[in-house]
Amino acid sequence: MTIEIPGNRIVIASHNAGKVREIRELLDPLGLSVVSAGELGLEEPEETGETFAANAELKGRFVAEGSGLPALSDDSGLAVVALDGAPGIHSARWAGPERDFGMAMEKLERALAGKSDRSAYFICVLCLAFPGGGADVFEGRIDGDLVWPPRGNNGFGYDPMFRPEGSEITFGEMTPQEKHAVNHRARAFAKFLAHLKG
Ligand code: IMP
């Protein structure tokens, strides 16, 4: 596959190990040299945006400027319909400074008490940013519902609670390949690839 990334090097603008792993796997077939922001010793910028796209762009631009390389960032989260889209852009913050997603899922389950609508969706916005240059964003979404108790130890974050539409098993029970076949990040990534090829 031929794509247009100057210098054939790209930085993954994330410090989330689960996301870095998934993005690395998605980038793998492209033959690029891939490094993460953490490996370059770059800090994480504060996420002050009010939308996934604003935060993705902020992270992408920050890392592109800091590294002097094209950067691919990800801002993503879980939106629960009965909670008016919460936790949404605050998905990571619900897990507290310890990033305790067992606790975040319990908090979510408590917030859903008495509600019959358990539908939810994951959103991922990827941003490709160039040093001193432009930034393009690509959005992917996957709909599903929330199960309780959480099931499976694969993936990260809210995966054990999320069952995508048409599936009997949760993201936490899926292999990485099964999750990549349908998830929000892979869907955003497909748009990113179409853009590069176009
Ligand atoms: P941020 O984009 O770094 O603000 O963090 C997004 C948060 O959303 C992550 O820390 C996870 O809690 C959650 N999240 C995003 N994508 C996924 C996913 O694929 N599976 C499970 N949780 C996710």
Give pLDDT tens digits for 105-117: 999 999 999 999 9
Q: Of ligand 1's atoms, which has the minimum distance to the CA of residue 14? A: 3
Give the structural domain span for 165: 6-196
> What's the pLDDT tens digit per position in 20-42?
999 999 998 888 899 999 999 99
Residue 178: inside a domain, yes or no? yes
Residue 132: inside a domain, yes or no? yes
Residue 88: inside a domain, yes or no? yes
Residue 128: inside a domain, yes or no? yes
Q: Encoding tokens for residue 111?
A: 């917030």
pLDDT score recorded for residue 4: 66
Task: Specify whether the CB–CB gap between 53 and 73 falls below 8 A.
Answer: no
The one catalytic residue in 74, 75, 84, 117 is: 75
d(CA 93, CA 75): 13
d(CA 165, CA 178): 13
Residue 1: inside a domain, yes or no? no
Compute the Cα dihedral for 5, 141, 78, 84 and give only its sign: positive
Mean pLDDT, rounded, of the chain:
94
Give how many domains the chain has, as a whole number: 1
Residue 113: inside a domain, yes or no? yes
- pTM for this entry: 0.92
| Structure-token match 């748009």, residue found | 191
Residue 41: inside a domain, yes or no? yes
The protein residue with its alpha carbon nearest to ligand 1, atom 10, reads: 92
Q: What's at 198, amino acid-wise?
A: G
Residue 49: inside a domain, yes or no? yes
CATH number for the domain spanning 50: value is 3.90.950.10
Q: Report the residue among 75, 158, 162, 179 best suited for mutation to probe ligand 1: largest number of ligand atoms under 8 A from its CB.
A: 158
